[in-house]
Amino acid sequence: MQFFKVKTVEETFALIQEHIPEIREVETRTLEEALHCILAEPIVAAENVPGFDRSTVDGYAVFAKDTYGSSESMPGFLTVAGEVEMGKEAGAPLSRGEAIYVPTGGMVPPGSDSVLMIEHCEEIGGLLNTYRQVAPGENIIRAGEDIKEGEVLLEAGTKLRPQEIGALASLGISKVNVYRKIKAAYLSTGDEIVPYETESLKVGQVRDINYLTVAGLAKGWGVETIYGGITADDYDIFAAKARELYEQADILILSGGSSVGAKDYTTEVIQSLGEPGVFVHGISIKPGKPTILAVANGKPVIGLPGHPASAMIIFRLFGEKIIKQRQGERHGKKPERLFARSTKNIPSAPGRSDYIRVRLFEKEGEWWADPIIGKSGLITTLVKSDGIVEIQSEKEGILQGELVPVIASK
Ligand SMILES: Nc1nc2c(c(=O)[nH]1)N[C@H]1C(S)=C(S)[C@@H](COP(=O)(O)OP(=O)(O)OC[C@H]3O[C@@H](n4cnc5c(N)ncnc54)[C@H](O)[C@@H]3O)O[C@H]1N2
Ligand code: MOO
């Protein structure tokens, strides 16, 4: 009988960081094709954004000092000296005692330090009655306030979200060098597993759930997936299929056979793929204890536990970390977490990290997390859940009403 040398969740993350090599192949993509890609080089701004002082409102460019003391009951008076046209350079500089009309986004004339909104003044025959005072800088975006020429806008290793793509567009950058997208090959194992399209099942058979759940997560992280089908619990067939997929991909994902049963060949197959091989077999986590993580000649191999909820939770936690590291993401944004109060006491064994599926609901402005009880073989425990509560290994559970971190399902 083989026993797991179980690692904690924290040790597992540290081992992933130590073992997973990055892919450094670079390709050039247009901004439209670069969404969710990882930048291969830093972006230094070659110009200011905006390139000129802009008004953020429809109003009159003024000297703030000229409006001091203005109110509804004691309006001030300025001379209207002209109008700025949208998309055009402002004309002459503003002189004291004057106001120039500027549309939202239009250039603020030189000299002016603020813009008074049109609803706070009234133009009558070339004179502007001012009913409010404005402070210097009010309603103006200064040249370079968004991005300064020479500034490092984005570091190499940044994942390009829509907002990063927008910032690149603002600088007139139309192509970027990014790491190439990675390919993950997936293989289901188990004599009982049949393609999900199978219309009628024989007793003992189950449809392949894990391919679609795991590939679905991977696709959402920008990974291309290769489906390797289902392999029987036969060492030679399994090892040959795993080798073929391993050659085609940057990461190999195997589901099932990770435990220590007589027909659980996954560890042996992974060890046959290359050195150094398995670096984690068994994590003190629930669900997903029999997880296997390995590197074979520089390529990561993940052996997911077969139970569908375990496979998905493990892939969400460790698969995402492995993929990010593999594709060179070094400045990723933080995971989506929110805090919710538990509706129940939830016990947990100290020394083990528990990931409890929860349904979230809002009551009186607060989020509450209601645990979903059910075995890790039940995919509907995840269908019913909105997120996962993490009970860290040092805790002996959580109390009813306690505020707990929830990883929201995407
Ligand atoms: N003696 C022990 N037995 C088990 C342990 C243990 O520590 N000692 N751990 C249990 C835990 S926890 C899990 S999780 C499972 C993991 O088992 P395997 O990774 O070896 O997976 P299988 O035995 O192949 O499958 C488990 C279960 O999941 C179903 N399955 C597998 N693949 C799929 C798929 N692609 N789609 C849908 N369902 C799938 C499979 O039919 C089994 O019912 O081990 C426990 N045993
Ligand atoms: O801990 Mo296993 O992964 O659920 O059944």
Residue 291's CATH number: 3.40.980.10
Which residues on adjacent β-strands are paired with residue 100? Answer: 61
Nearest atom (ligand 2) to Cα of 305: 3
- Establish if 259 belongs to a structural domain: yes
Q: For ligand 2, say whether the CB of 299 is within 6 Å of any of its atoms.
A: no
Is the domain of 270 the same as that of 213?
yes
Q: Is residue 283 domain-shared with residue 240, that is, in the same domain?
A: yes
Q: Is residue 226 part of a domain?
A: yes
User: pLDDT value at position 262?
Assistant: 67
Question: Distance, CA 47 to ligand 1 centroid (Å)?
Answer: 57
368 within domain boundaries:
yes
Whether the CB of 381 sits within 6 Å of ligand 2: no
* Shared-domain flag, residues 288 and 304: yes
Does residue 90 sit within a domain? yes
Burial track 34-45 (b if 16+ CB lie within 10 A, e otherwise): bebbbbbeebeb
Percent of all residues in the chain with a pLDDT value above 90, rounded to a whole number: 90
Asked if pLDDT for residue 150 goes beyond 90, the answer is yes
CA distance 204 to 184: 29
On whether both 219 and 315 belong to a single domain, the answer is: yes
23-54 tens-digit pLDDT: 989 999 999 999 989 999 999 999 999 999 99
As for the ipTM of the complex, it is 0.96
The whole-chain average pLDDT of the chain stands at: 94
312 CA → ligand 2 middle, Å = 11
Largest separation between any pair of C-alpha atoms in the chain: 96
The contacts of residue 378 (CB under 8 Å, 6+ apart) are 308, 309
Looking at residues 340-362, what average pLDDT do you find?
95
Ligand 2 lined by 303 (C-beta under 6 Å): no
In this prediction, residue 1 has a pLDDT band, given cuts at 50, 70 and 90, of: very low
The pLDDT, as a whole number, for residue 409 is 83
* The last residue of a domain, from among 121, 141, 161: 141
Backbone φ, ψ for residue 66 (5° rounding): -70, -10
Reported as a pLDDT band with limits 50, 70 and 90, residue 3 is low
Please say if the pLDDT value at position 135 is more than 50.
yes
Q: For atom 4 of ligand 2, which residue has the closest CA?
A: 287
| DSSP classification of residue 76 | E
- Residue 4 resides in a domain: no
Pocket probe for ligand 2: among 281, 289, 315, the residue whose CB has the most ligand atoms within 8 Å is 289
Residue 32 has, within 13 A of its CA and on its CB side, a CA count of 0
Q: In this predicted structure, what is the pLDDT of residue 336? A: 76
| Domain match, 100 and 187 both | no
**3 within some domain:** no
Q: What is the CATH number of the domain that holds 165?
A: 3.90.105.10
Q: Is omega for the bond preceding 276 within 30 degrees of 0, making it cis? A: yes
pLDDT of residue 303: 96
Whole-number pLDDT of residue 176: 98
Q: Is the CB of 150 under 6 A from ligand 1?
A: no
CA nearest to 253, candidates 174, 197, 311, 208: 311
1 inside domain: no
Domain that holds residue 136: 54-141
Is the Cβ atom of 112 under 6 angstroms away from ligand 2? no
Residues 201 and 287 in one domain: yes
Structure tokens at 375: 């075995």
Distance 295 CA to ligand 2 centre (A): 23
Q: Check if 289 has its Cβ closer than 6 Å to any atom of ligand 2.
A: yes
CATH number (domain holding residue 92): 2.170.190.11
Q: Are residues 276 and 209 in the same domain?
A: yes
Tokens of residue 300, six digits: 């990561």
* Cβ of 281 below 6 Å from ligand 1: no
Looking at the structure, do residues 42 and 162 belong to the same domain, yes or no?
Answer: yes
Q: What is the mean pLDDT of residues 207-222?
A: 95
Cβ of residue 310 lying under 6 Å from some atom of ligand 1: yes
Give a yes or no: residue 331 inside a domain.
Answer: no
Kind of pairing between the strands at 140-141 and 98-102: unpaired
The predicted structure's pLDDT at residue 371: 97
Other beta carbons less than 10 A from residue 265's beta carbon: 23
* 316 and 348 co-located in one domain: no
> Is 409 in contact with 387 (CB distance < 8 Å)?
yes
Whose CA is closest to atom 1 on ligand 2?
Answer: 287
Whether residue 2 is predicted with pLDDT greater than 80 in this model: the reply is: no
| Mean pLDDT along residues 345-358 | 94
pLDDT tens figures, 166-195: 999 999 999 999 999 999 999 999 999 999
The pLDDT assigned to 335 comes to 67
Residue of 113, 169, 103 lying closest to 142 (CA atoms): 113
Cα 304 to averaged position of ligand 1 atoms, centre (Å): 9
Our count of domains for the chain comes to 4
First vs last Cα of the chain: how many Å apart?
Answer: 39
Of the listed ligands, the closest to the CA of 213 is 1
Domain finish residue from 160, 179, 198: 179
Of 382, 404, 405, nearest in space to 209 by CA? 382
The pLDDT of residue 258 is 76
Give me the CATH number covering residue 354: 2.40.340.10
pLDDT of residue 257 exceeding 90, the answer is no
**End residue of a domain, out of 273, 292, 326:** 326
> Do 320 and 241 have their domain in common?
yes
With residue 45 as reference, give the H or E element that holds it: none
Q: Which of 135-149, 263-277, 288-302 has the lowest mean pLDDT?
A: 263-277
Identify the H or E element spanning 3. none
289 shares its domain with 201: yes
**Does 302 lie in the same domain as 210?**
yes
| Closest ligand (CA of 285) | 2
Q: Which residue do the tokens 């990561």 mark?
A: 300
Q: Is 14 helix (H, G, I), strand (E, B) or coil?
A: helix
Distances (CA, A) of 174 to 86, 209, 374: 25, 40, 50
Distance CA(170)–CA(174), nearest Å, equals 10
Query: Rounded to an integer, what distance in angstroms lies between the CA atom of residue 294 and that of residue 313?
Result: 18
Question: So what's the pLDDT on residue 200?
Answer: 97
